[in-house]
Structure 1
Amino acid sequence: MSFYDAVVPAYLQMLNSVTGLLTKAEAHCAARKIDPSVLLGSRLFPDMLPLSRQIQLVSDYPTRGCARLTHSEVPSTPDTETSFAELKQRLAKTIDYVQSFKPEQFEGADAKDVTFPIGPGKTITMTGQQFLSSFSLPNLYFHAAIAHGILRHNGVEIGKRDFLGAN
């Protein structure tokens, strides 16, 4: 298996899965006459980020992951989305971005160093494999799972298959 095959399909699976979750959440709000901003602002606990920010982070980890692993410039993505449509558009742009990478761009990336910020004025360096398996994918799955939990907690009829992106 190439490193590309370990990276890109995993990112795309979660991006497509979360897009499906948002589609169901949007339908849930429409069917129950719930103001979408209420659901988008929902949190599992007061000190956690709201659903809208969880989705933005789901978009950020694949974008930054592909860029850092291929030593490309990390695109700037302002967090300005306030609706389901805008969040789904952000995810669609991220999917397009991830799909734009070619397998040869990832050749040797598993062994190359990746240096990235971990707070104000702090960076850490890991190999590409360590970055993917210890940082990028766990963070992606965490924020996708929290988004799923927020939606489920608020009555959106979703389950494990929706999280996994199964049809």
Structure 2
Amino acid sequence: MSFYDAVVPGYLQMLNSLSGLLTKAEAHCAAKKIEPGVLLGSRLFPDMLPLSKQIQLVSDFAAKGCARLTHSEVPSMPDTETNFAELKQRLAKTIDYVKTYKPEQFEGADTKDVTFPAGPDRSITVKGQQFLSSFSLPNFYFHAATAHGILRHNGVEIGKRDFLGVS
């Protein structure tokens, strides 16, 4: 398997599935007469980030992961989304961005140095394989699973197949 195949398809699958989850969440709000902002601001626990931020972070980890692994310019996306349509648009833009990457851009990325921020005044440098397996993918899936958990916890009728995007 190429390094591209270890990175891009997984990002795309989850970004697409999250878009589908948001569509179901929006329909849930309409059917149950729930103000969408209530669901978008929901958290699994008070000290955790809300649903909207979970979606923004998934988007960031996919786009910035590809950029860092290929030594491309790291995109900046301000976190301004306040409704389902804007969050789905952000996911669509991220999908389009990730799709621009080609397999040859990832050649040798597993052994190249990747530097990324680890706080306001600190950065870490590791090899691409370690960056992907110990930082980028775990964070990407953590925020995707948390978004799914928030929706499920709030009564949106979704399950594992929805999370995987195969329903």
TM tier, shorter chain?
over 0.9
Deviations 1:115-164 (CA, angstroms, capped at 9, x unpaired)? 00010111111111111111000001100111001000000000011111
Q: How does 1:1-167 map to 2 (within 5 A)?
A: 1-167=1-167
- The one-letter amino acid of 1:101's match is Y
- Once residues 138 and 23 of structure 1 are traced to their aligned partners in structure 2, the CA distance between those partners, rounded to angstroms, is 25
- Provide runs of 4+ in structure 1 moved above 4 Å: none
- Once residues 141 and 2 of structure 1 are traced to their aligned partners in structure 2, the CA distance between those partners, rounded to angstroms, is 20
Aligned residues: 167
Determine helix, strand or coil for the equivalent of 1:119: coil
Report the aligned-residue RMSD.
0.6
Structure 1 residue 17 displacement after superposition: 1.1
- Once residues 70 and 99 of structure 1 are traced to their aligned partners in structure 2, the CA distance between those partners, rounded to angstroms, is 13
Determine helix, strand or coil for the equivalent of 2:72: coil
Determine helix, strand or coil for the equivalent of 2:74: coil
- The one-letter amino acid of 1:132's match is L
Structure 1 residue 165 displacement after superposition: 1.1
Structure 1 residue 21 displacement after superposition: 0.6
Deviations 1:47-104 (CA, angstroms, capped at 9, x unpaired)? 1000000000010000000000000010110000000000000000000000000111
